[in-house]
Chain A
Amino acid sequence: MSKYEYVPEPALVKGNHDFASITKLVTDVNLRPTPKLWYFFMLISNALLGVFLVAVGYLIWEGTGIWGLMNPVGWGWAIINFVWWVGIGHAGTLISAILFLFRQDWRTAINRFAEAMTIFAVICALMFPGIHVGRIWVIYWVFPIPNQMAMWPNFNSPLLWDVFAVSTYFTVSLLFWYVGLVPDLATLRDKATDKIRKFAYGIGALGWTGSNRAWWNYEKAYMILAGLATPLVLSVHTIVSFDFAVSMIPGWHTTIFPPYFVAGAIFSGFAMVLTLMLVARKVYGMEDIMTNDHMEKMNIIILVTGSMVGFAYIMEFFIAWYSGVEYEKAIFMLRATGPYAWAYWIMMLCNVISPQVFWSKKLRRNVGFTFFISIVVNIGMWFERFVITVSSLANDYLPSSWDYFSPTIWDVLTYVGTFGIFFTFFLAFLRFLPMVAIAEIKAVLPQADPHNYDENQEYHPHVVEIPKPQVEKV
Chain B
Amino acid sequence: MSEVTQNTYWKSLNELAQNKEYKNFVEREFPENATELTDGVSRKGFLRVMGASIALAGFAACRRPVQKILPYSNQPEDIVPGIPLFYATAMPFQGSLTGLVVENHEGRPTKVEGNDLHPGSWGNTNSYHQATMLEMYDPDRSRFPLRNGEKATSNDFVAFAQEYFADRNKRVAFISEANSSPTFTALKQGALQKFSNAKWVTYEPFGEDNAIEGNLIAFGSRLRTHYNYSNADVVVSLDDDFLAPTHPNNVEYAKQITGRRKVTSTSDSMSRIYSVENGFTLTGSYADNRLRVKASEVEAFANALAGALSTRINGLNAFRSVSNQFTGSEFISALADDLASNIGRSAVSIGLAHSANAHAVVAAINTSLNNIGSSVNYLQVPSFDNQNNTQAFTDVVTELKAGNFDAVVMIGTNPVYSSSFNNFSDAIKNVDEVFHLGTYKDESAKSASWHVSRSHFLESWGDGFSFGGARSVIQPQIQPLHDSLSEIEFLNAIVYEEKTSGYDLVQNTFKGYYGARFENRWKDILHDGIDIRDGYDRANVRLRTVSPSQTSPVDGIEVVIRPDASVFDGRFANLGWLQELPDPMTKITWDNVALMSPATAASLGVENEDLVNVAVNGKSVTIAAWIQPGHADDSITLNVGYGREGIGRVADIGSENSQLLDPSEKYGGVDIYPLHTALFVSGAISKASGSYKIACVQDHHSLEGRDMYRKATLEKYKDTPDYASFKYVHKYPVPGMKEAAELGEDQPISLFDEQTYSADEPQWGMAIDLNSCFGCGVCVIACQSENNIPVIGKREVNRGREMHWIRNDRYYVGDENNPTAVHQPVPCMHCELAPCEQVCPVAATTHSNDGMNQMTYNRCIGTRYCANNCPFKVRRFNFFNYPKEYLTTGEDPDIIQMAMNPEVTVRFRGVMEKCTYCVQRVNRAKINTKIETGSPKPADGTVVTACQQACPADAIYFGDLTDENSTVAKMKRNERNYLMLEELNVRPRTSYIAKLTNPNPVLVDETNQEPAH
Contacts and interface: CB of A to CB of B under 8 A. Distances in A.
B984 interface: yes
Interface residues of B, number: 61
B733 to A, nearest CB: 14
Contact of A72 (B659, B796, B800): B800
A248 B870 CA distance: 8
Nearest to A330: B704
B909 A71 contact: no
B809 interface: yes
A134 B843 contact: no
A369 interface: no
A69 interface: yes
B860 A72 contact: no
Contacts of B880: 62-63, 65
Given A249-B868, A397-B981, A409-B660, A135 B862 contact: yes
B811 A400 contact: yes
Contacts of A398: 706, 708, 809, 826, 871-873, 980
Contacts of B661: 408-409
A151 B796 CA distance: 34
A159 B826 contact: no
A154 B841 contact: yes
B323 interface: no
Interface in B815-848: 824, 826, 835, 838-843
A135 B860 contact: yes
B861 A134 contact: yes
A142 B700 contact: no
Interface in B772-830: 796, 799-802, 807, 809-811, 824, 826
A247 interface: yes
A160 B841 contact: yes
A94 to B, nearest CB: 28
Contacts of B867: 71, 74
A340 to B, nearest CB: 14
Give the one of A75, A153, A247 with max B CB within 10 A.
A247
A393 B843 contact: no
Interface string A228-252: 0000000000000001001111000
B906 to A, nearest CB: 15
A412 to B, nearest CB: 9
A399 B910 contact: no
Contacts of B863: 132-134, 159
Given A65-B879, A141-B842, A246-B839, A399 B700 contact: yes
Contacts of B910: 63-64, 133-136
Contacts of A137: 63
A353 interface: no
A158 B868 CA distance: 13
Nearest to B863: A133
A10 B986 CA distance: 60
A63 B879 contact: yes
Nearest to B980: A398
Contacts of A136: 910
B199 interface: no
Chain A contact patch, size range? 35 or more
Nearest to B856: A151
A178 to B, nearest CB: 30
A288 interface: no
B879 A64 contact: yes
B801 A65 contact: yes
A323 B61 CA distance: 53
Contact of B699 (A66, A249, A403): A403
Contact of B869 (A133, A249, A401, A409): A249
A133 B861 contact: yes
A204 interface: no
B911 interface: yes
Contacts of B912: 134
A342 interface: no
B840 A134 contact: no
Contacts of A466: none
B861 A68 contact: no
Contacts of A158: 839
B811 A399 contact: yes
Nearest to B865: A159
Contacts of B869: 247-249
Contact of A402 (B699, B824, B862, B980): B699
B801 to A, nearest CB: 5
Give the one of A72, A74, A408 with max B CB within 10 A.
A74
Contacts of A72: 800, 873
A403 B800 contact: yes
A70 interface: yes
A401 B873 contact: yes
Contacts of B877: 64, 69, 71, 74, 134
A138 B873 contact: no
A177 B859 CA distance: 38
Interface in B874-911: 876-881, 908-911
A400 B835 contact: no
Contacts of A156: 838-839
A257 to B, nearest CB: 15
Contacts of B909: 63, 134-135
A151 B843 contact: yes
Contacts of A403: 699, 800
A316 interface: no
Interface in A100-159: 132-139, 141-142, 149, 151-154, 156-159
Given A133-B861, A134-B909, A159 B839 contact: yes
Interface string B708-735: 1000000000000000000000000000
Contacts of B871: 248-249, 396-398
A48 B268 CA distance: 71
A75 B870 CA distance: 13
A172 interface: no
A133 B800 contact: no
A451 B146 CA distance: 107
A66 B998 CA distance: 49
A410 interface: yes
Contacts of B872: 397-398, 401
A399 B706 contact: yes
A247 B986 CA distance: 12
B703 interface: yes
Given A142-B842, A396-B873, A69 B879 contact: yes
B702 interface: yes
A472 to B, nearest CB: 60
B511 interface: no
A163 interface: yes
Interface in A417-461: none
B193 interface: no
B662 interface: yes
Given A160-B841, A398-B826, A247 B659 contact: no
A241 to B, nearest CB: 14
B698 interface: yes
A399 B704 contact: yes
A402 B698 CA distance: 8
Contacts of B705: 326
B864 interface: yes
Contacts of A139: 861
Interface in B972-992: 980-981, 984, 986
B44 to A, nearest CB: 12
26 contacts: A63-B909, A64-B864, A65-B801, A70-B799, A134-B862, A134-B878, A135-B860, A135-B909, A138-B861, A142-B841, A142-B861, A151-B859, A153-B841, A163-B841, A247-B839, A248-B986, A398-B873, A399-B708, A399-B811, A400-B809, A400-B811, A401-B873, A403-B699, A408-B661, A408-B662, A409-B661
Interface of B: 63, 659-662, 698-706, 708, 796, 799-802, 807, 809-811, 824, 826, 835, 838-843, 859-865, 867-869, 871-873, 876-881, 908-912, 980-981, 984, 986
Given A74-B864, A403-B800, 4 more contacts: A63-B881, A134-B862, A137-B63, A403-B699
